[in-house]
Structure 1
Amino acid sequence: VVFHPRLVGGSPDSVFWQKYLQPLLTDPSRPCAVLRRSVDWQREAMDCMERAFRAVVNEIPGYEFKTRAALSEMMYLLVTRAPAMRAVPKKALRSADRIKTMLQFVQTHYAEDLTVEQIAASASISPSECLRCFHDMIGTTPNQYLRGQRLQRAAELLCGTTLQVTAIAAQCGFEDSSYFARSFRQLYGCGPTEFRRRTLRAGQ
């Protein structure tokens, strides 16, 4: 779930931004937060993310408010409960900066025919260092993250447009419609057509 912090923090002079968002975003001792369902508050934060995502996908009446409310609740949990890391090594901070740059690059260019070399070049590092950053920081590979971004965008288009499935696949960077359908089923538990039918029915 990717969103601009101002969605919940408002303008830089707002109390939400100054009291909660800015301290969290600029704290070098908290470059990231790992969430596990075995921890109560972390499970609650993950549930908030799920509610926000579903609200956007289903576009239920007032979904903008519901999305912002769920994300605000999640951010409050992170601000008040996420522990700081003692003596964060400079290498870890450097890796955090690099992964942010590469994630943003993927989110902007997900529909293109990206390679690991291109993703690495966006952060001015080698492909091997790129692989290490992805593995250490978010526990996946660049290609797996790229595929996830493409599938997430495809899910949004399935629910928010009337484009044909093949057109959505191509628009999201999938040249092979069969591969797109298999990948979509692996992530969402059903094919693209069934996913569209279910979400539209749920929104009625």
Structure 2
Amino acid sequence: MKKVSQISFYTGSREELLPGFTSKFPYISSCSDITKHPGHFCPWHWHPAMELFYLKQGSLEYNTPGSRILLAEGCGGLINSNVPHMTRPGPDFASSTQLLHLFDPSFISGVHGSLIDEKYVTPLTIASQIEIIPLYPDHPEHKQVLSAIRDSFLISENTPGYELKLRSALSDIWFQIFELALPLMQTKDRFDKRNKRLRLMMVYIHEHYAEKISVKDIAGTAFASERECFRLFHDCLHMSPAEYIKNYRLQAACDMLANTREHITFISQSCGFGSSSYMGKIFRESMGCTPNEYRTKLRG
């Protein structure tokens, strides 16, 4: 299991890059403490892989375009394929240990179009009204599946038959969650068009954050009005387009500070801040330190 304190993305997207994820074995597991990520949160992102998680310690706030859910120690859940989401610590802001399984739906279904795929996998993955399925230990119908999720992280890579045992465990968990999700699958799909538009707007920002960006430009990439653009960002991401641009530039600057030796002036221009003084102002407001102090902390 890989320990994660920062996530990486495909160029020009906010789709998460999953190191070690291959077609031969489309699965990885990780352990994450959000308080150790840059800015103490995991930024908005998405991935085709399903995200099955268990909160071992602390509390987390999970945000999707349609919901904001606070989860305490012992909770878990499933994030559906390609759903934008972000996480931040709960109100106590204590250290939080989150265990994650990330796997392609084919890890459960096998060949696309198989009977298992048609009956048990695709109906859930295409249900865009189901963004997140939270699981709570005080709900009797959730208790058994949470126990199975927790135990699945104990399957060691060194165990004979590891791959088969892991797939068997995740298949059992999948079916339990599938049954819990059946009533939700019958509800009207309200989010598909909205989420696709939002992802188009986010990708435009990710591709052009180093440039001057207008709301008109962002809206145009999804064939929406400026009013609709403001509404989508406010309703789904709980921030304005300008705030999202600023946060994205901040994350990009954090990545460059951590992984390059470029001068602060170069980083500020490369990330769209324009001047090092303005980037310093944003860092002090958001991170509580200067860019140089942030770099020094990372390098010990």
Q: How far, CA to CA, are the matches of 2:133 and 2:76 in structure 1?
A: 12
Q: 1:7 aligns with which of 18, 23, 31?
A: 18
Q: 1:104 aligns with which of 188, 203, 207?
A: 203
For the residue of structure 2 that corresponds to 1:193, the secondary structure is helix
Shift of 1:132: 0.5
Do the aligned partners of residues 22 and 112 (structure 1) sit closer, same or farther apart at CA in structure 2, a change above 3 Å counting? closer
Shift of 1:122: 1.0
Question: Partner amino acid for 1:114?
Answer: I
- After superposing the two structures, state which structure 1 stretch, 146-155 or 2-11, moved more: 2-11
Q: 1:169 aligns with which of 268, 277, 284?
A: 268
Q: How far, CA to CA, are the matches of 2:286 and 2:76 in structure 1?
A: 22
> Which residue in the other structure is 2:285 paired with?
186
Is 1:73 the counterpart of 2:100? The answer is yes
Question: Partner amino acid for 2:274?
Answer: E
Is 1:120 the counterpart of 2:203? The answer is no
1:8 and 1:71 in contact (8 A); partners too: no
> Which residue in the other structure is 1:199 paired with?
298
Q: Encode CA deviations 1:44-103: one digit per residue, 9 max, x unaligned.
A: x9479xxxxxxxxxxxxxxxxxxxxx9971658x9774686562443x321111111111
State the identity as a percent. Answer: 26
Q: How far, CA to CA, are the matches of 2:290 and 2:263 in structure 1?
A: 13
Q: How far, CA to CA, are the matches of 2:222 and 2:18 in structure 1?
A: 26
Q: Encode CA deviations 1:128-175: one digit per residue, 9 max, x unaligned.
A: 100101111111111111111101110111111111111110110011
> Which residue in the other structure is 2:245 paired with?
146
Shift of 1:178: 2.0
Q: How far, CA to CA, are the matches of 1:192 and 1:181 in structure 2?
A: 6
* TM-score, with structure 1 as normaliser: 0.66
Q: How far, CA to CA, are the matches of 1:6 and 1:158 in structure 2?
A: 19
Question: Partner amino acid for 2:216?
Answer: E
For the residue of structure 2 that corresponds to 1:190, the secondary structure is coil
The number of equivalent residue pairs is 169
* TM-score, with structure 2 as normaliser: 0.47
Question: Partner amino acid for 1:189?
Answer: G
- Where structure 2 has 5 or more consecutive residues not aligned to the other structure, the ranges are 1-6, 10-14, 29-46, 52-63, 78-85, 90-96, 104-130, 136-179
State the Cα RMSD in Å. 3.7
Q: How far, CA to CA, are the matches of 2:276 and 2:87 in structure 1?
A: 31
2:50 and 2:102 in contact (8 A); partners too: no
For the residue of structure 2 that corresponds to 1:140, the secondary structure is coil
2:211 and 2:272 in contact (8 A); partners too: yes
Shift of 1:42: 6.3
More strand by share: 2
Asked which structure has the greater CA Rg, the reply is 2
For the residue of structure 2 that corresponds to 1:148, the secondary structure is helix
